[in-house]
Amino acid sequence: MSEKIVISPTSRQEGHAELVMEVDDEGIVTKGRYFSITPVRGLEKMVTGKAPETAPVMVQRICGVCPIPHTLASVEAMDDSLGIEIPKAARQLRELTLAAHHINSHAIHQFLIAPDVVPENLFTTAVESVSEIRKTVQMVVDMVAGEGIHPSDVRIGGMASNISEVARKRLYARCKQLKPKLDAHVELIIGLVADKGFPEGLGVTNAPTLATDVLYGNRDNFDLDRFTEIMPESWYDDPEVAKRACSTIPLYDGRNVEVGPRARLATYGDFKERGVVAQHVARAVEMKTALSKCIDILGELDTSAPVMADFDVTGTNKLGVGAIEGPRGMDVHMAQVADGKTQFYSCLVPTTWNIPTMGPATEGFHHEFGPHVIRAYDPCLSCATHMIVVDDEDRSILKNEMVRI
């Protein structure tokens, strides 16, 4: 006799989602459905009809964890629509910003999964390691892109300014100093995941991978003609789930796909492993790749080179595409500019791609492993809305819950 296990909301991830699992008499998942319950963001509508420069500033607020990928995807889409070729140094500074953000975001994820894999006697060591790494890479983003959270200096046409030679040398030294610490951290995380003893095959699916680049992103490797988007009612076979799901289902070649660090390593390397352990290992390995990228760029950057292209903001109504490889996967923004205004804007955020893949990834194993499978994909469901009702007189909290709008 089958039973339905519902986890709502799923925990230690960004945003809110539900995991609904049908299980057999042994508690084995026979059908897994994962879906977003985070309210509609609506930012695409807010930037429509406004000057192109508005979009990167607004859409970076889609998520407080992923502001860097959203900013970069936005300016890349605008650059494409406006026919802009940015200077080499600007491209290097953008790549440097994203590489540092990859390390920061992956470290945050490892903090979130620490209760799953880190034994009590090593917990402080692991958390302090995460904090030390984040301190350095946040400094890189802060100095290169203007701010560590919302990067004010990433602009349509390039960057607001180049960094100084003093800043380049300082960041280069800090990143070089971080390398042995990061290598030790990666070894620690991979070892702890191995020691956890997850069942072999946990989280494995047959979904194909989709990635556009090793680390940064390349719109030339994303074919819009192979992309379709369907409503939840056409994907979920449970009417109640379909009714509650808040995100559409993106497909590539008519199939759900996997995006993220493992997808990048599999697409552009020889990384063949799949499943929960492979997700954690790929994410950790990618931190080393990203730090090497930071060091390489800082070692060769010409700080006297221009970083802003000349361009006409009028636009030609071309649909521009920005494909950025965010920590959680491919982040695609599309923008259309004409008469100096944004006529159309749309975002395909990374977790949207993984949503239809994560549910089936829980199948075939005991439902207690379900949350581990979901967290291995590091879902980020964009911004959630919360509301607190406070008594006007004594400021006590009368109501504290998520409000669906």
Q: Can you give the C-alpha Rg of the chain in angstroms?
A: 21
Q: Which amino acid is at 4?
A: K
3-377 is classed CATH 3.40.50.12280: no
> How far apart, in whole angstroms, are the C-alpha atoms of residue 320 and residue 333?
8
> How far apart, in whole angstroms, are the C-alpha atoms of residue 282 and residue 259?
12
Residue 63 is assigned to a ligand binding site: yes
Q: Strand order of the sheet with strand 17-23?
A: 3-7, 17-23, 29-36
The C-alpha angle with vertex 379 and arms to 378 and 381, in degrees rounded to 5, equals 150
Question: Tell me, what's the pLDDT at 395?
Answer: 66
Q: How far is CA 356 from the centre of its chain?
A: 16
Nearest of 220, 219, 214, 221 to residue 292 by alpha carbon: 214
Cβ contacts of 404 within 8 Å, gap of 6 or more: 37, 39
Question: Tell me, what's the pLDDT at 398?
Answer: 60
Which of 276-280's residues contact partners 24+ apart within 8 Å by CB, and which partners? Answer: 276/198, 276/202, 276/203, 276/369, 276/372, 276/373, 276/376, 277/193, 277/194, 277/198, 277/202, 278/203, 279/203, 279/376, 279/377, 279/378, 280/113, 280/117, 280/189, 280/190, 280/193, 280/376
Residue 380 is assigned to a ligand binding site: yes
What is the DSSP code (8-state) at residue 368? G
Report in angstroms the alpha-carbon separations of 204 from 34, 113, 257, 258: 15, 19, 13, 11
Asked whether the beta carbons of 67 and 60 are under 8 A apart, the reply is yes
User: For 365, how many CA atoms within 13 A lie in the half-sphere containing its CB?
Assistant: 20
Record the tokens describing residue 305, joined without a space: 């080179």
> How far apart, in whole angstroms, are the C-alpha atoms of residue 114 and residue 106?
12
Residue 175 is assigned to a ligand binding site: no
Question: Tell me, what's the pLDDT at 14?
Answer: 78
SS (H, E, C) 55-86: HHHHHHHHCCCCHHHHHHHHHHHHHHHHCCCC
> How far apart, in whole angstroms, are the C-alpha atoms of residue 189 and residue 41?
34
Residue 246 is assigned to a ligand binding site: no
Strand ranges for 219-292 from DSSP E: 227-230, 249-252
Question: Tell me, what's the pLDDT at 397?
Answer: 60
The C-alpha angle with vertex 325 and arms to 55 and 284, in degrees rounded to 5, equals 135
Record the tokens describing residue 202, joined without a space: 């946990």
> How far apart, in whole angstroms, are the C-alpha atoms of residue 361 and residue 202?
8
Asked whether the beta carbons of 376 and 276 are under 8 A apart, the reply is yes
Question: Tell me, what's the pLDDT at 386?
Answer: 43
Evaluated on CA atoms 156, 158, 163, 168, the torsion sign reads: positive
> How far apart, in whole angstroms, are the C-alpha atoms of residue 59 and residue 72?
10
Question: Tell me, what's the pLDDT at 62?
Answer: 82
Kindly give the confidence (pLDDT) of every residue in the chain, 405 residues in length, as a single tens digit, with 9 standing for 90 and above.
679 999 988 888 877 889 999 999 999 999 999 998 877 777 888 899 999 999 999 998 887 778 999 999 999 999 999 999 999 999 999 999 999 999 999 999 999 999 999 999 999 999 999 999 999 999 999 999 998 888 999 999 999 999 999 999 999 999 999 999 999 999 999 999 999 999 999 999 999 999 999 999 999 999 999 999 898 889 999 999 998 888 889 999 999 999 999 999 999 999 999 999 999 999 999 999 999 999 999 999 999 999 999 999 999 899 999 999 999 999 999 999 999 999 999 998 889 999 999 999 999 999 999 999 999 999 887 654 444 556 777 766 665 443 332
Residue 347 is assigned to a ligand binding site: no
Beta bridge partners of 322: 333
Domain ranges of the chain: 3-377
Nearest of 355, 351, 358 to residue 331 by alpha carbon: 351
User: For 330, how many CA atoms within 13 A lie in the half-sphere containing its CB?
Assistant: 29
> How far apart, in whole angstroms, are the C-alpha atoms of residue 314 and residue 312?
6
